[in-house]
Structure 1
């Protein structure tokens, strides 16, 4: 079966489709990121007769309406938006939405004598030899514009100028290639075609298809829904963007969506800054009890999975469910309470969270449990536990969509406590804590998920930094404290150990920099001698710790074996082995108290 057709179309034909919404360019599917000079270069290429590549569209399937008639599907642009937007800006004179989501005009000037293009600027506006805006010429009265140009520039060669103006006005008559993908293709096939055709090998995610589908909808409020998703994610990162929306999108600012996200204008929390992919995934999975975004695209198209037909009732219901999921995601109470739960597990900083999939599904768990009326205290415990369980087991590190799909169906079909216990019994056996986890801690990667869980356990317990009498690990994480080496790096390097050995996570602790400086590059046996002398003499040579009991307590909370006080280079392998086991036990105790 032919999966797509390839045809050449006049640019003016493509632009007429854009104006009539026959081809849908989502207004903010992606802001216009081209520099104005690229728009200029595109115009020059067309003027010179150079090829400008292909655009790719996927025709929506025809949808069966309630009265039995068929609604003709639109073409959804999935690649080439920047070129098409550039054409509408330069040729039609339309506004574009720029990187900061402001509506601006890009005006391209033309010099008919030198036959060159330039971005309009104040100098050009003062120079009579330039046509300041080609859109005015292409869409205006040619004879009047040419006559006016000759009046301002009586000495120019009129034949040369007329020929240049004719070539300029012929730009819309130039052709551009359109690859139109068949409407009955599934997303996986469309994605594969896109990657093979696109010379840059750009990955087009299923979330991109979903967002294009949402934005192209005019029947069920898809355009505003798409804006809500995009604006929420932008506001979460940049609260000051609130004023941009008020000033530049007054229509959206009057919607219920905007009122529900207004709380973000004063919010500076950065623990969870979702991208549109995250928001749509959480909203979809929590509402539809499905994990594959390809299903969302099909449902928004009105697909009946049994008959394989496309029905308007299914599309309408799907948009309504997705809208409900987006509202739940954006709800201030939901969002803030969820983040408080994550923080209560010790994950107080985004640098302790390395997986968006893990935090996304934790939010899905929260929303699902709240929806079915689970006790609030139980929700907190379940969300904390599932969040950490997912990190420790790498649950969403491979084939996350399949995992999402499986897990949300389990949550929907049985009590969460039962599902959680099944997974813990299967994946967190005693062998995991005593063998698998210590082995996983044999790494030099400081962003190791296991090490980050360990740091979260220190934060939750209110533990102090290594050799600190007052400063907690929470303080050090929040204030961007540094990770240092128990066996100093320089000391290990001097004895011939390479980076992979001296940077073992089992050799890491959060330590105040001033304490680390005093430790220097001495072996543990030497700097602990200084510390014990400090305690005996009542001085503060290394830290504020002034009793042996306080020292032992500090070692215990930091999972540092007491044997370290007599260790030197030959003991380093044994030290790593001992500390990995202590860290693993700490994580186990922490996990079962969540």
Structure 2
């Protein structure tokens, strides 16, 4: 086969691009990488991770070429050029970084060793330094070390020098090259298509593929187990979930890009033991949730990842009866892990803490310690419920307290149930209908209208009787049995007649939040282990915070999203393109980081396993790709006319950011 093999360092390859010794054939696509992907490449080189090989073509023909996106024209080559077939995005990115391209301002945090694109916040922080300053030819380290140490005296100058030296060394990092020769253009085109036709695998896909290759018959085991739980209304325990549970049990942590290497090395005994743990753990855990907590359907649970440490705990514990205190402690941790959005971001890291804790001598104590509530009393306050919507874990808790209070479907006397079917299927509906609030003169916001305190668990049949009428009418409809104070109290709906009118809607929200918060606290206290110390209550870090998106769209324009954020004494608003958000979510589904321009600033969109994080104003909006997709669909369904989109001047956020679950975005 006419293939030559060689190695060249990055600095040489970048120089060959400048001199025109490396060119792009016409069949290449354009440059598409976002700054976040460039930052990931630089980080991989810094850490010594594999970054793949390069494929070139050398020919006596003179094929049609296209320009490389380096911002300047290439020189005329004095030698026979190489035509780049695979590696354009990487080499173009490296050229941009090492030549200070305006769209490749990658910065490095000397303290945390993190990489990202330059932002308003990093430009103000002396710990962040531009990669170009360190890795460009002729860069001197001593002045940089002196400058950084002077600005951040707590950083050891030797450590600064070591890390800058490691960063500068990426110039010398070699790439393996394969050069095809003697191939005609038509064959090269076929090779190019085959090389570039693959799609990146998500970590869960890769883990399943690795397990399938490593352990014959595992797919059948997963399918059978998923079918078993689907028949019991736990349909979310599907093949991807079970794959994650098995890998978590075997590896002792969450999925990551490198999980497959460890799975390949796992012994047959480890895999068999891990699968036995998953099956045994589920058969102890799910009945506990169904019978003790009354969680009869998996679609009620806001975070299924929170099941994984408990699967390990119950799957590996000795075969002895489970005492009531331990059972309560398990359920208490489960509720708090959901309320505190334990796995809304950094899932792999958190599981790396919680799975080992579940294997400890006192697993419940250690798990609660990881949550930071081992010595505190968790109390739900009305303020905690402000701005919460259907995606919030408090929504899950609101169902549980209504269920425990004996709530029934209005006018049909059927106990609310997450497993009811057909017309009696329990759904959530607005107590004050949206139609009467949207047109009201008090100007109720989207977040207020869809507030958790305005949602009740009743059937679609009951909701049709309400239609768009105010509670002041349907609570006392002479054509229907009256809704008694006792019936409404089971749903924690205040009975005060003045609160039934849209004019007093905000007073209604405040009154119902107080009732719900008290009931939620009592429910949590029921499962709180007696050995926990009674100290100061732990405040919810997102109490009073909200993040609202409104899409303005037309038939000829994908539209813009207006963002309004509130939290911790700050208010912020900005805009971004809806199509760009959709593209970022699709890229994340392929395992790729990307970027999104928000309020005039290009910001990194990061994906870890199936979790996507986007910095939006004062928040880091984080959630699964499926949760982001649901958010997109909801916004499209509620889109407003583009002509009504307000003009908001760009105001990049330059402060700290707080994690915010996408499920709580309104």
Cα distance in 2 for partners of 1:476, 1:277 equals 23
Is the helix fraction higher in 1 or 2? Answer: 1
Residue of structure 1 aligned with 2:434, choices 489, 493, 501: 489
Which sections of structure 2, spanning at least 5 residues, go unmatched?
1-47, 58-83, 88-185, 528-666
Contact 2:436 2:469 in 1 (8 A): yes
Alignment correspondent of 2:241:
278
Contact 2:285 2:314 in 1 (8 A): yes
Contact 1:7 1:178 in 2 (8 A): no
Evaluate the alpha carbon distance shift between residue 492 and residue 324 of structure 1 in structure 2; reply closer, same or farther with a 3 A threshold.
same
Structure 2 SS opposite 1:409: helix
Alignment correspondent of 2:523:
590
Cα distance in 1 for partners of 2:505, 2:426 equals 25
Deviation of residue 199 (structure 1)? 7.5
Structure 2 SS opposite 1:473: coil
Evaluate the alpha carbon distance shift between residue 399 and residue 427 of structure 1 in structure 2; reply closer, same or farther with a 3 A threshold.
farther
Deviation of residue 270 (structure 1)? 3.8
Evaluate the alpha carbon distance shift between residue 328 and residue 425 of structure 1 in structure 2; reply closer, same or farther with a 3 A threshold.
closer
Cα distance in 2 for partners of 1:7, 1:520 equals 64
Structure 2 SS opposite 1:562: coil
2:175 corresponds to 1:232: no
Larger Rg computed on CA atoms: 1
Residue of structure 2 aligned with 1:523, choices 449, 470, 474: 470
Structure 2 SS opposite 1:484: strand
Contact 1:210 1:293 in 2 (8 A): no
Alignment correspondent of 1:348:
296
Structure 1 SS opposite 2:493: coil
Q: Which gives a bigger RCO, structure 1 or 2 (Cα 8 Å, sep 6+)?
A: 2
Cα distance in 2 for partners of 1:172, 1:423 equals 58
Alignment correspondent of 1:14:
none
Once the two structures are superposed, the pairs formed by residues 359-438 of structure 1 within 5 Å of their partners are 359-368=307-316, 370-371=317-318, 373=320, 375=322, 377-378=324-325, 380-422=327-369, 426=373, 433-434=380-381, 437-438=384-385
Structure 1 SS opposite 2:380: helix
Provide Cα deviations, 1:368-387, integer angstroms capped at 9, x if missing partner: 4x347562545543432222
Structure 1 SS opposite 2:496: helix
Alignment correspondent of 1:321:
270
Contact 1:451 1:505 in 2 (8 A): yes
Alignment correspondent of 2:513:
580
Cα distance in 2 for partners of 1:459, 1:423 equals 29
Residue of structure 1 aligned with 2:231, choices 244, 250, 268: 268
Evaluate the alpha carbon distance shift between residue 422 and residue 571 of structure 1 in structure 2; reply closer, same or farther with a 3 A threshold.
same
Alignment correspondent of 2:396:
452
Cα distance in 2 for partners of 1:285, 1:446 equals 29
Residue of structure 1 aligned with 2:414, choices 467, 471, 477: 471
Alignment correspondent of 1:223:
215
Alignment correspondent of 1:134:
none
Is the strand fraction higher in 1 or 2? Answer: 2
Provide Cα deviations, 1:87-131, integer angstroms capped at 9, x if missing partner: xxxxxxxxxxxxxxxxxxxxxxxxxxxxxxxxxxxxxxxxxxxxx
Provide Cα deviations, 1:330-351, integer angstroms capped at 9, x if missing partner: 45xx534432222232322233
Deviation of residue 395 (structure 1)? 0.3
Cα distance in 2 for partners of 1:562, 1:436 equals 21
Deviation of residue 352 (structure 1)? 1.3
Structure 2 SS opposite 1:593: helix
Deviation of residue 451 (structure 1)? 0.7
Cα distance in 1 for partners of 2:383, 2:445 equals 25
Cα distance in 2 for partners of 1:421, 1:215 equals 35
Once the two structures are superposed, the pairs formed by residues 561-576 of structure 1 within 5 Å of their partners are 561-564=494-497, 567-576=500-509
Which sections of structure 1, spanning at least 5 residues, go unmatched?
10-50, 55-170, 180-196, 217-221, 240-263, 303-314, 535-540, 546-550
Evaluate the alpha carbon distance shift between residue 432 and residue 377 of structure 1 in structure 2; reply closer, same or farther with a 3 A threshold.
closer
Structure 1 SS opposite 2:231: coil
Deviation of residue 329 (structure 1)? 2.2
Aligned residues: 350
Deviation of residue 289 (structure 1)? 3.4
Provide Cα deviations, 1:223-266, integer angstroms capped at 9, x if missing partner: 31xx32x22333455x5xxxxxxxxxxxxxxxxxxxxxxxx4x9
Alignment correspondent of 2:571:
none
Contact 1:8 1:178 in 2 (8 A): no
Contact 1:210 1:297 in 2 (8 A): yes
Evaluate the alpha carbon distance shift between residue 518 and residue 423 of structure 1 in structure 2; reply closer, same or farther with a 3 A threshold.
same
Aligned Cα RMSD in Å?
A: 4.0
Evaluate the alpha carbon distance shift between residue 371 and residue 285 of structure 1 in structure 2; reply closer, same or farther with a 3 A threshold.
farther
Alignment correspondent of 1:358:
306
Deviation of residue 434 (structure 1)? 1.7
Provide Cα deviations, 1:456-496, integer angstroms capped at 9, x if missing partner: 3323444223x446211127855423322222333223425
Evaluate the alpha carbon distance shift between residue 562 and residue 418 of structure 1 in structure 2; reply closer, same or farther with a 3 A threshold.
same
Cα distance in 2 for partners of 1:330, 1:351 equals 20
Alignment correspondent of 1:186:
none
Alignment correspondent of 1:542:
480
Cα distance in 1 for partners of 2:403, 2:436 equals 29
Deviation of residue 402 (structure 1)? 0.6
Deviation of residue 509 (structure 1)? 0.9
- More divergent stretch after superposition (338-347 vs 513-522): 513-522
Contact 2:206 2:260 in 1 (8 A): yes
Contact 1:214 1:300 in 2 (8 A): yes
Alignment correspondent of 2:486:
553
Contact 2:499 2:508 in 1 (8 A): no
Alignment correspondent of 2:651:
none
Evaluate the alpha carbon distance shift between residue 424 and residue 335 of structure 1 in structure 2; reply closer, same or farther with a 3 A threshold.
closer
Evaluate the alpha carbon distance shift between residue 463 and residue 298 of structure 1 in structure 2; reply closer, same or farther with a 3 A threshold.
same
Structure 2 SS opposite 1:422: helix
Cα distance in 2 for partners of 1:173, 1:573 equals 68
Structure 2 SS opposite 1:578: helix
Evaluate the alpha carbon distance shift between residue 294 and residue 174 of structure 1 in structure 2; reply closer, same or farther with a 3 A threshold.
closer
Once the two structures are superposed, the pairs formed by residues 177-256 of structure 1 within 5 Å of their partners are 202-216=199-213, 222-224=214-216, 227-228=217-218, 230-236=219-225
